[in-house]
Amino acid sequence: MKYFIYTRKSTDSEERQVLSIESQISELKEFAAKEKLEIVASPSEAKTAKEPGRTVFGEMLDRIEKGEACGILAWHPDRLARNSIDGGKIIYLLDTGKIKDLKFPTFWFDSTPQGKFMLNIAFGQSKYYIDNLSENIKRGHRAKLRKGIWPTFAPLGYLNNHKTKGIDIDPERASFIRKAFELYGTGEYTLKAIVKVLGQAGLKSYKGNVLSVSSVQRMLQNSIYYGVFSFNG
C-alpha cells in the first residue's frame, strides 16, 4: 500500500499549532520507517483547515482518486480537516475504497464502521475546537470594545502593549504619522507627494514595506488618530 505524508500548519492566529511543518515531517518519516510504509510524496501547506479550499490538500485527494496512493499519513486528524466538507470528503473516499487506510502517530484508526465513526468524532471535535476558540476571541474583542480598548493589531503609529492589552503611541513612527496629517491639512500636498515625503523619511509598515498611496489614504481616513474607532461595525 502506498501513502502520502500530509503536513499542515495554520497561518491563522486563531489556530496555533505546537508542531511546525518540519517537525511533523520528521516525526512522520520516522513513523513511516518504523511501520515500513511506502511513501510516494509528502505534500505540505501553510493554511488553515477551518474552511474548505486548500489547494495542496485538494490536489492530494485528486491524486488518490487517480490511484497514485490509497493511504494518508498525518500527525492528527485535525491536520486533514477542521471543517465538515473536508472531513466528509475523507469519509466518502473511505466509503468508496479510494482511501484504504489513514495512519496517525497520535490517533488510532482502522477502516471499519467503528473506525470511521471515531474518525468522524475526531473531525467534529476539531471543528468544535475552532468554532469555540473563535467565539471566545470574539467575546474577548467585545469586552475590550466595551472598555474603549482597541482589540486587535495596532494601526501604524501605535504599538500593542501586551501588559495592558491596549495600544500605546509608537515613539519611532508617531511623529511621521502626525507629519502626514499636517502636510495633508495644508491642502498643498497630494497623497503621492505625502507618500514620497514619508518614504524619504524612512517610514515603513510593520512588515517593512514602503507605504503605498492607498495605505496612506486609509491612514488619513482612520478616525482612531483622533481617538474614535470602529471595529466590525
Q: pLDDT tens-digit profile of 54-66?
A: 999 999 999 999 9
What confidence tens digit (pLDDT) does each residue in 102-112 have? 999 988 888 88
Give mean pLDDT, residues 172-197: 93
**How confident is the model at residue 17, as a pLDDT?**
52
What confidence tens digit (pLDDT) does each residue in 82-102 have? 888 999 999 999 999 999 999
Q: What is the mean pLDDT of the chain?
A: 88
Note the pTM of the prediction, 2 decimals: 0.57
Q: Look at the block and give the residue holding cell 490536489.
A: 59
| Whole-Å CA distances, 129 to 122, 125, 151, 174 | 11, 6, 22, 39
- Cβ count near 82 (within 10 Å): 25
| Whole-Å CA distances, 22 to 9, 15, 191 | 10, 18, 44
**How confident is the model at residue 14, as a pLDDT?**
45
**How confident is the model at residue 35, as a pLDDT?**
93
Higher pLDDT, 71 or 205: 71
Give mean pLDDT, residues 19-26: 85
- Cβ proximity of 150 and 167 under 8 Å: yes
Report the distance separating Cα 12 and Cα 73, nearest Å.
23
CATH fold label, 2-133: Rossmann fold (3.40.50)
Residue 176 has pLDDT above 60, yes or no: yes
Q: At what angle do helices 213-221 and 174-185 cross, to 10 degrees?
A: 80
Residue 44 has pLDDT above 90, yes or no: yes
What confidence tens digit (pLDDT) does each residue in 113-131 have? 888 888 888 888 777 777 7
Per cent of the chain over pLDDT 70 is 96
Residue 168 has pLDDT above 50, yes or no: yes
Report the distance separating Cα 65 and Cα 73, nearest Å.
16
| Domains in the chain: boundaries | 2-133, 158-226
Say how many Å lie between the first and final Cα of the chain, rounded. Answer: 53
Q: Look at the block and give the residue holding cell 507629519.
A: 179
Residue 50 has pLDDT above 50, yes or no: yes
By CB atoms closer than 10 A (0-12, 13-18, 19+), residue 160 is middle
